Amino acid sequence: DREMEGEGEGEKTESNEAGGGSGGGGKKRKRARGKSGKAGDGNGARGPPNPEPGEEGYMTKTQLRNARKRRRAKREIAGAAEKKKGDDDDGGGGNADPSPDKNKGKRKSGRPDDDDPSARYLSAPLRAPAVRSAARYLSDALSSGKTFETHVGRRRGWRTVSKLPVRPSSGGGESKGAAGEATVGMFRPNTHDVVPLSDGRGGCPAHHPSIDAAVSAVQRSCRALSVSPYDETTGEGCLRYVCVNVERRTGNVQLTLVWNSDGDREGEKAEALRRLSDRLIKMGTAAKAPGAGADTGIEGKPAKKRRRGKRPTSHSSSSPFALHSLWVHYNASWRHSNAIFDFCPSTHGSGSWKLLHGPPAILESLDLTPPPPAGDDGAPPQLRPVKLRFPPNVFRQANLDAFAGIVLSIRRYLARYAAERTGEGGEGDAGVESRGPSCVELYGGVGTIGLNVLDLVSSLVSSDENPHNRRCFEESAEELLRPANGGGGGNGGDNDNDNDNDNLNENIGGTHIPKARYIPRNAADMVVKENILSDDDGPGRDAPEVLIVDPPRKGLDDEVIRALITDDDGDDGGGGGSRQRRRRDPRPDLLVYVSCGFKAFVRDCDRLLESGLWEIDEAEGHVLFPGSDAIETLAFFRRRRRK
């Protein structure tokens, strides 16, 4: 999973308070040039002389200056990490927020910072170390005149995906349960000690209220039915994790019970699962019965009247537990394994996932309406909303509301890129150019980004290694590209919407080519075995002009980086050119990089820029998880033109 389990980590635009503007950087560069003859001034006064042009290792003054900036940013990142260690002792204030804590010594509402890292920077998300480091690094790396902005949004109730451990209660105190009873909560940082959510302090502030309602229902049911929680020391017990996905439109939950068993067999564990699932289905469907709603008790019965003057909180236990669907995932992996889901086909095959109740997937659409005023450079309106499919065994962004802002920025940039590209094409290329750029998406998931830009590209090839993604992608694509009246021949010649339906397929050289297709492979195989970034003699297999990547925290696979820094002569400057297929055309021309791990992004960005083949045209930050020390980085890299 791309998110740290058990931590809340999530939207709207604010100007960057972390020094992200480029003006300050320009002043610093002027001062540096004025200190001629001193170490680090770019003139090589101390240290080895700069090689002459044409010699190995030669760098222009601009390249030397950029290299110094990247080294400085790396030092600052490392320093911030060291300072952060000290923050853990005082609740996370430290150097990120030097202002004194006015509430020091007072009992705070909500969960304490040492128990819930998602709340550490909740009062000032832009002061989180990762956010400030990103602002400094990318302000220096951006093209002249470009600025780096960070977007932050709603700070509470944004998380609609949560995977929570179930462990034995220690008895008494905050757990409010007898010793050994099931307790659902979050792991305390750097431990496997569970901090209960239902400890009377309002739950996690990041959680959608439906998550807290589901957790309460599961925990009470386990205790009422004596369902044993998983014990890490012995490997015994039934329920390992509870995974909750919220359908944003209704607030209904897709609930997955991670069961410590190797399959649906008879026995005590099977009977315990049957009793627990029956009870949860009854509770979850009662809350959706006519008359049940926000003022309904957890099991669908009318809630007691509140006393006058007492206001419900956003995380009130009176939020209904309404079930969208109930799944069980069998995971009897080794007790020292930290994997929540067992995707190993040799363990269970396809039988490790079982739908017990309800529809197989949550349907979600992103709100991609440009904020007013859109202006001439605003994102074009989407032809038709994409209905994304999310069963529990695929990756889904925990904050889809905020992630829509990233997709909207990508649409805005792609629209400008397509207009640029059309203007550059000659008369003979006009027909080809008007089709839009070809696009490949690596680490694509169910197509959350790719399908939402499908109307802006001529073709899309998406891929991911999770085998469960393919069906979700193909069903969403088929629905998106189906004619509006459900037939195969469009809506008739007088209907302008027929042009939208022309996006279904391409006909290139008399060959029928699908507009969107999915390849269930990991990114490294796509580059090395599928040659997806290379030219091909077959129709519809030209090298893509646009590459979209949204890797996990570890960043891009080395094979992907090597392909991107290998020029059309097969030389990557690092001895790896012999492994890459020689390309006739240096493509892709545009790299759209969405990163959820900033340290890995810095590593990848340095390699791309140092190759001399790429430059960052635009970049922006999105704090998808307000309160935690994390930032989602969106960067648009353009391939340098040969002179």
pLDDT above 70 (res 4): no
- Beta-carbon neighbour count of residue 425 at 10 Å? 13
377 is in an annotated binding site: no
pLDDT at 179: 77
Global confidence as pTM: 0.75
**pLDDT classification of 18: cutoffs 50, 70, 90:** very low
Dihedral-angle region of residue 359 (phi above 0 means left; psi in -120 to 50 means alpha; beta otherwise): beta
The CATH number of the structural domain formed by 399-484+506-612 is 3.40.50.150
What CA–CA distances, in Å, run from 457 to 110, 158, 506, 517, 545? 46, 31, 11, 13, 10
Cα–Cα dist 141/282, whole Å: 56
Looking at CATH, the fold of the domain delimited by 161-303+313-364 is given as OB fold (Dihydrolipoamide Acetyltransferase, E2P) (2.40.50)
Mean pLDDT over the full length of the chain: 76
580 is in an annotated binding site: no
**pLDDT classification of 373: cutoffs 50, 70, 90:** low
**pLDDT classification of 188: cutoffs 50, 70, 90:** confident
pLDDT above 90 (res 598): yes
The string of pLDDT tens digits covering residues 225-261 is 999 999 988 999 999 999 999 999 999 999 999 999 9
Cα–Cα dist 456/473, whole Å: 18
Please give the structure tokens belonging to residue 293. Answer: 């709603």
The string of pLDDT tens digits covering residues 42-81 is 444 445 566 777 677 777 777 787 778 778 777 776 666 5
Least confident piece of the model among 119-128, 284-293, 522-531: 284-293
- Beta-carbon neighbour count of residue 189 at 10 Å? 17
List residues with catalytic annotation: 596
113 is in an annotated binding site: no
Across the strands, what pairs with 245?
161, 254
Q: DSSP E strands: which ranges in 333-483?
A: 353-357, 362-364, 388-390, 438-442, 459-463
Please give the structure tokens belonging to residue 180. Answer: 């050994």
The string of pLDDT tens digits covering residues 600-643 is 999 999 999 999 999 999 999 999 999 999 999 999 999 997 65
- Beta-carbon neighbour count of residue 247 at 10 Å? 19
pLDDT at 441: 98
Cα–Cα dist 643/300, whole Å: 71
Least confident piece of the model among 178-192, 321-335, 621-635: 178-192
Q: Which residues of 80-93 are buried (b: 16+ CB within 10 A; e: fewer)?
A: beeebeebeeeebb
User: Under 8 Å CB-to-CB from 435, ≥6 apart: which residues?
Assistant: 458, 506
**What are the sequence ranges of the domains in the chain?**
12-33+62-99+108-152, 161-303+313-364, 399-484+506-612
464 is in an annotated binding site: yes
The string of pLDDT tens digits covering residues 425-453 is 444 444 444 578 999 999 999 999 999 99
Q: What is the mean pLDDT of residues 263-273?
A: 87
pLDDT at 511: 42
Torsion of CA 43, 148, 444, 74, to 10 degrees: 40
